[in-house]
Structure formats: structure tokens, C-alpha cells
Amino acid sequence: EATPKAKLNILHCYRSMNYISRHMEEKFGIPWCEYNFFGPSKIAESLRKIAGYFDDGIKEGAERVIAKYRPLVDAVVAKYRPRLEGKTVMLFVGGLRPRHVIGAYEDLGMEVIGTGYEFGHNDDYQRTAQHYVKDGTLIYDDVNGYEFERFVEKMQPDLVGSGI
């Protein structure tokens, strides 16, 4: 009963929710967008994107929230970025998390040199290659532990980010 009254659907996991969101857009005219709350740059970008679907009061509120937390963000980045800038990272995470967490590493000045998906589809790889990583980044598909270890031995990252 309340579903058609929604003003916006926001998706963190595109793969699990895009079908229902597209259906609601077609049937009820409810728009949808993806968001990413990993890392300060992506949080601010997502808050602005979500607020963009609403009136100026909401947009101004989003800017106030971003401004409120900016000093905290700046302090954390200032503390860690000098030690992490220029370091390389390979990711071994599940679902669609690779493209969600890349920006957080980049906020700290780190370079993602390898990433992949456990449950990826063609469009996941296309979007990752076009929007989230640099040319030359290794993108792997559903690697097992042995294969990932071989990639790590070859690429020699400073950090491995993992977890499913």
C-alpha cells in the first residue's frame, strides 16, 4: 500500500535490487539511483546525487551534512594519507564490493592495481573498467584462493583488501 508513495528508491547493491527498482519505475514512476557510502568522496557524491531528486531544501540539507563532517574527514585523511599515498592495493572481495570500495582507497591516495568479482556479470566488468579503475588494472573473475595468490605474487601490492 505504501510502496507507490515512495519518492525515490536508492540502491547499494545494484545486482540484488535493480529488477524491483526498474519495475517500480515503470509501474509507479518512482525513480531510482545507486549510492555508495564507502569513503568520504563517494559519500558526499551520493548525498548530492540523492538530494538532487528533491527540492532545494533537501539539497541544502545535504550540503550542511557534508560540511558538518568535512573537518572530521579532513583530519582522518590528513592522518593516514601521508603514510598510504602511492601504495598499491589488490582487492579480493565478494559481490559488487570492488567498485564500492575503490573510491575509499583512492581518497587515501592509494592505487588499486587489481580487483574482481565473485558474482559479477558482464555489465559489472564494463562499468568497473570504464568508471572505477585506471587502464592496466588487473580485473579478475571469480578467482579461487590459489589463483589470487599467484596474482599477488606477480603484482606485489602493498596491501590486499579482502573479505566476502
Read off the pTM: 0.85
pLDDT truncated to tens, each residue of the chain (164 aa)?
Answer: 777 889 999 988 777 788 889 999 999 999 999 999 999 999 999 999 999 999 999 999 999 999 999 999 999 999 999 999 999 999 987 666 777 888 999 999 999 999 887 766 666 667 666 656 678 888 888 888 899 999 999 999 999 998 75
Structural domains in the chain, CATH included, are: 3-79 (3.40.50.1980), 85-163 (3.40.50.1980)
In three-state secondary structure terms, 50 is helix
pLDDT of residue 46: 97
pLDDT of residue 96: 61
Length in residues, the chain: 164
Specify the amino acid at residue 20.
I
Phi and psi at residue 155, in whole multiples of 5°? -85, -25
Calculate the CA dihedral of residues 89, 115, 161, 148 and round it to 10 degrees. -100
The answer to whether the beta carbons of residues 48 and 69 sit under 8 Å apart is no
pLDDT of residue 18: 81
Classify residue 143 by its DSSP letter. Answer: -
Q: What is the CA radius of gyration of the chain?
A: 18
Instruction: Report how many helices (DSSP H) and strands (DSSP E) the chain contains, helices first.
Output: 6, 6
